[in-house]
Amino acid sequence: LMAEIAAEKTQGNYLDFHTRNFIESIQKNDPSNAKCTPFTGSVAAINAHMGNVAFKTGRKVYWDNEKKNFGNDKEANALINATYHNGWAKPKV
């Protein structure tokens, strides 16, 4: 068994702190000011999305970071991008 860990009291709204830091970094045009890099954010987003895909498929999924997909798993790969309806489309940037 694991030992109980006491809950820590938060020091404010961390989403607000992150948002403020992100905007300040853009305004200063200084990526080194950011406390969370785009890479770190992408890892968090990929892991969260993998959880959603695993839940929807009902099984474990495995991310291929080189290919940026779930390898030969067609069902999981079909869930990477949204399906747009009613004339909406993914913007081309």
Tokens for 77, please give them: 């790969």
pLDDT (tens digit, 0 to 9) for every residue of the chain, 93 residues total? 789 988 888 888 889 999 999 999 999 999 999 998 888 888 999 999 999 999 999 999 999 999 999 999 999 999 998 888 988 988 888
Partnered with residue 69 across adjacent β-strands are 64
What is the C-alpha to C-alpha distance for residues 58 and 76, in angstroms, rounded to an integer? 10
Which tokens hold the place of 33? 């000011």
- The backbone torsions φ and ψ at residue 13, rounded to the nearest 5 degrees and listed phi first, read -95, 105
* Residue 31 DSSP symbol: G
CA–CA separation, 21 and 19 (whole Å)? 5
Q: What is the pLDDT of residue 8?
A: 86
Instruction: Compute the distance between CA of residue 43 and CA of residue 68 in angstroms, rounded to an integer.
Output: 12
